[in-house]
Structure 1
Amino acid sequence: MDAHRFDGLVARAHALVTPGRRALLGIAGAPGAGKSTLARRLADALEERYGAGTAVLVPMDGFHLAQAELTRLGRAERKGAPDTFDAAGYAALLARLRAPRPGEVVYAPAFERSLEEAVAGSVAVPYGVPLVVTEGNYLLHDDAAWAPVRALLDEVWFLDPDREARVARLVERHVRFGKERSFAERWVARSDEANARLVEAGRDRADVVVAGDLFPSPEPDAGDPGPDAEGRGRER
């Protein structure tokens, strides 16, 4: 781990904390960039250094449309593209998180990799939490459905790792979750990299660009799922 750079990011995240208000920090990047790894470690470090209840992680991937709905819409083969999420629902949750009500606990969904589905009510955000960290592909995407998201975030960091390493990680992730390697390679080249190009178009809208890999071997992201609920490498 690049401890010096990571410590600097922890300090920058904590600087967003202001008494009497809640801040929202976004971490964006292409599939396989290491968003989930950084967001998880960042939230953990903030809790360890500044006390329990300092930060909560709320992933964007909890707003994946259900597999049955993707199939109904004819989008199952593009799972992970911008229109395979409930973008308006995600923006509505961020707006609610920005304006917490005394005593209220907000519950957010999370993506369950073993099910390949989002699960409602997975993440509790109590009223007193001063910082919410959220991560996902499309935090800086500017089409009509996603455009409101950027304005709801106090700061957005864009992860920009080495492309070859990122692509290799994506392939290994799909294989690890049961897909045949040849299918995984085709899926990454066709689907994940098409999404990556959309994500990278928003790079200049970020407040911070984190170049290179902070962690030599980032943990598997919870999101950026493959095409089917069974996690098998089958083309339809």
Structure 2
Amino acid sequence: MDSASRPQLAPHRYFTREEWASLRADTPLTLDESDLARLRSLNDPISIDEVVSIYLPLSRLLNLYVAATQRLYKATRTFLGTTDGKTPFIIGIGGSVAVGKSTTARVLRALLQRWPDTPKVELVTTDGFLYPNAVLQREGLMERKGFPDSYDLPALLAFLSDIKAGSPRVSAPLYSHLVYDIVPSERVTIDAPDILIVEGLNVLQTPRLPRDGKAVPFVSDFFDFSIYIDADEIDIHRWYVARFERLRATAFQDPSSYFHRYALIPEEEALAIAERLWSRINLVNLRENILPTRPRADLILSKGANHLIEQVALRRL
């Protein structure tokens, strides 16, 4: 559906791929094919054309938003008579497993780092705030890994609060996809960035509101801008299974991989497992927790069956 046929009262304004691409203006292309080869995730066919058509206009928009927000922060400090340090601009990126969140986050980080004023841009994923497997197993939550209740929400909120307050050297737990668990005694340190990108399945999730009106902070309360990567359920399902197949031939081959056993069984059996993981865990999480947060995003990037973004929705101010 083109932008002209959208209801005027919709909270978002919709753009076709071509309409969005025209908003690039003179934003320079600062990535090349070798950069993309390092940034793209497994089974995500992002191209230079995708960067030019989608991510350069987005980079331009974010440049304007960051500048305007920093002016607002400065005005607030003037009003309060405070001399606090800089307040980082935080971007949240959400969406289903296998939809391309990680690629989007890495490409955006690379583009934002290459702005003329070369801001300091950091990237964290909420995977680091999952409870360790030992805790999930004890609580019977291993099959709900990635669901809202599998995260240490107080730790994530404390991390974001410290970042937003401009605290130097804020640390977060380190997660390993190889061992599928938190790495004990290792941390990732974020040191006063200008921009922080936070990527994760449920970053736009809202808790149930209390009847007594007491404050219940959301993760997204700390975001200055939020992005949701969207696609049809059928396509995400196909991408998930295809990625599982690729992982069997790559990462799962490592004997230290948590999923090494899947590389040793017949393909038909492995694909049956992938289908069960999708239907019992990832599809349920998508339907119950992730997809309902889509309308809350400031920007929705909608992908077609070929993994390319076909439509952009930008929230009206």
TM-score scaled by length of structure 2? 0.62
Q: CA deviation at 1:28?
A: 0.8
Q: How does 1:1-236 map to 2 (within 5 A)?
A: 1=47, 2=50, 3-17=52-66, 18=70, 20-50=86-116, 53-101=119-167, 104-119=168-183, 121-127=186-192, 129-144=193-208, 148-175=218-245, 176-177=247-248, 178=252, 179=262, 180-197=270-287, 198-212=289-303, 216=307
Q: CA deviation at 1:80?
A: 1.7
Structure with greater helix percent: 2
SS at the partner of 1:202? helix
- Structure scoring higher RCO (CA < 8 A, sep ≥ 6) equals 1
Distance 2:129 2:142 in 1: 15
Q: Tell me the distance in 2 between the aligned counterparts of 1:110 and 1:214.
A: 33
> Is the partner of 2:127 in helix, strand or coil?
helix
C-alpha deviations, 1:16-35, integer Å up to 9, x for none? 43273211110111222211
Q: Which residue of 2 aligns with 1:231?
A: none
Structure 2: distance between partners of 1:12 and 1:118: 35
User: Deviation at 1:49?
Assistant: 3.2
The DSSP-based 3-state class of the residue aligned with 2:115 is helix
Counterpart code for 1:123: V
Pair 147,164 (structure 1): closer, same or farther in 2 beyond 3 Å: farther
Q: Distance in 2 between matches of 1:85 and 1:21?
A: 26
Q: Tell me how far apart the structure 1 counterparts of residues 159 and 279 of structure 2 sit (CA, whole Å).
A: 32
Contact 1:141 1:147 in 2 (8 A): no
Report Cα offsets for 1:62-112 as digits up to 9, x if no partner: 1111111111111112222111111221111111110113xx211222321
- Look at both structures and tell me which one has the larger radius of gyration over its CA atoms: 2
Q: State the aligned residue count.
A: 215
Q: Contact 1:67/1:117 (CA < 8 Å) preserved in 2?
A: yes
CA contact (8 A) 2:92 2:198 kept: yes
Unaligned runs of 5+ in 1: 218-236
What are the superposed Cα offsets for residues 24-57 of structure 1, whole Å, 9 maximum, x if unpaired? Answer: 1101112222111100111112113346552100
User: Secondary structure of the equivalent of 1:28?
Assistant: strand
Q: Which amino acid in 2 is paired with 1:188? A: W
Which has the higher mean CA deviation after the structures are superposed, 32-41 or 174-183?
Answer: 174-183
What secondary structure is seen at the aligned counterpart in 1 of 2:202? coil
Name structure 2 gaps, 5 residues minimum. 1-46, 72-85, 210-215, 253-261, 263-269, 309-317
Local SS of the residue matching 1:140: coil
The answer to whether the 8 A contact 2:144-2:150 is kept is: yes
Whole-angstrom CA distance in 1 between matches of 2:237 and 2:224: 30
Deviation of the 1:142 alpha carbon: 1.4
TM-aligned CA distance change 1:164 to 1:214, over 3 Å? closer
Range 141-150 or range 65-74, more displaced: 141-150
Identical-residue share of aligned pairs (%): 26
Partners of 1:51 and 1:123 lie apart in 2 by 25
Q: CA deviation at 1:150?
A: 1.6
